[in-house]
Amino acid sequence: MSRGGALLAPGDRIAVVAPAGPAPLDDLERGIAFLERRGYVVARGAHVTGRRAYLAGTDADRAADLNDAIRDPTVRLVWCARGGYGTPRLLDRVDVLALRRDPKPLVGYSDETALQEVWRRAGAPILYGPHVVELADRGAYDPRSLWRALERREIDVPLRPRQVLRAGRARGTILGGCLSLLVGLPGTRYEPEVDGAILFWEDVNEQPFRIDRMLTHLRNAGWFDRLAGMAVGRLHGGRAPDPKLHRSLRRILDDRLEGTRFPVVLDLPAGHTPGKWTLPLGVPARLDSDAGWLRIAPAGSRKDPRPPGSRGRWLSAR
């Protein structure tokens, strides 16, 4: 960790890598310049501008950049250039032993969801936040939550009554990310341990039947029998082109979560949405729909955010 307990301090070295899709070069340069103006030293992955159709270069090249960043003792944080697709292809190539020796944080969202269980098992902090190509666009993300997360401060996401699908309180590790990446994890060695977890998920441009299909897969995999709570991100672009085929998210969730009791909240401003908040993942969190917040402990923290005097799983719903 850097000075003062924060994940980063001015003068620290950030590795910018592209483990998924190719990054728009102009946006990448603006994002790197933004980090440099804030006083950080940026180390570009050797293949960060690579392109191979929908991938940012070959698997070997993208994995080499990722592992170079992990192994470099001067690098204090790994920041993903953009999402797209490609990180599931690298999971068996990550130098997990080096990451355990030096558990440096990972920042990214979308396709980077696939890397998060590798990072979590290594004890390395995970921030589900903006890509480097978005940093120069202040409308793309919420700066306050990003810098709070990098300073290892608690994140409080406010909830309004209209966001509550099922009221209640829950405490557990917050896990998750992009739904279309999460559904590829059950049955693999990278499947997260979801017992007693608060599952956060979001996605973009997924029609109702696809959301239904992916949630059904997680239900059939037994995930919904084991959760303490669920927090759904703000979804965009998911309306069916034929109105007769459309179904609201609330109705899909009412159907797919039938038989479960945990609290569920919707429309968190995180993921594929303008003004996205940065959420630490793999850390303790608690959800309280009555108080109106989702409270997440600092990235890399083992702090239990339950109130003093509480015990056990601190789970209730109605």
Domain limits of the chain?
3-140, 155-317
Q: What angle separates helix 249-256 from helix 208-220, to the nearest 10 degrees?
A: 20
Q: Do the strands 155-158 and 106-108 form a parallel or antiparallel pair, or are they unpaired?
A: unpaired
How many angstroms separate the Cα of 314 from the Cα of each of 153, 170, 192, 262, 285? 22, 6, 21, 11, 11
> Is the distance from CB of 295 to CB of 154 less than 8 angstroms?
yes
pLDDT digits (tens, 9 = 90+) for 233-274: 999 987 878 888 888 999 999 999 999 999 999 999 999 999
H or E, element range at 295: strand 293-296
Distance separating alpha carbons of residues 145 and 27, to the nearest angstrom: 21
pLDDT the model gives residue 305 = 46
CATH topology (fold) of 3-140: Rossmann fold (3.40.50)
Tokens (6 digits) for 298 = 């600092």
- Both tokens of 179, joined, read 């739904």
Q: Residue range 43-53: average pLDDT?
A: 97
Contact 59, 88 (CB under 8 A): no
Whether the CA torsion 259, 265, 270, 275 is positive or negative: it is positive
Q: What is the pLDDT of residue 237?
A: 84
Asked whether the beta carbons of 128 and 146 are under 8 A apart, the reply is: no
Check if the beta carbon of residue 211 is closer than 8 Å to that of residue 239. Answer: no
- Quickly list DSSP for 72-87: -TTEEEEEES--SS-G
Q: Are 47 and 108 in contact (CB under 8 A)?
A: no
- What residues are labeled active site? 110, 202, 272
Residue-wise pLDDT for 80-93, tens only, equals 999 999 999 999 99
Specify the amino acid at residue 222. Answer: G
pLDDT digits (tens, 9 = 90+) for 167-195: 999 999 999 999 999 999 999 999 999 99
Instruction: Say yes or no to pLDDT of 97 above 80.
Output: yes
Residues in CB range of 211: below 8 A, 6 or more apart? 179, 203, 235, 238, 249, 252
Q: What is the pLDDT of residue 315?
A: 46
Alpha-carbon distance 81 to 43, whole Å? 12
Which residues, listed in sequence order, are joined to residue 176 by a DSSP beta bridge? 200
**72-101 average pLDDT score:** 98
Count the alpha carbons within 13 Å of 109 in the hemisphere toward its beta carbon: 30
CATH superfamily for 155-317 is LD-carboxypeptidase A C-terminal domain-like (3.50.30.60)
**pLDDT greater than 60 at residue 306:** no
Q: 107-159, pLDDT tens digit by residue? A: 999 999 999 999 999 999 999 999 999 999 989 999 999 999 999 999 999 99
pTM of the complete model: 0.93
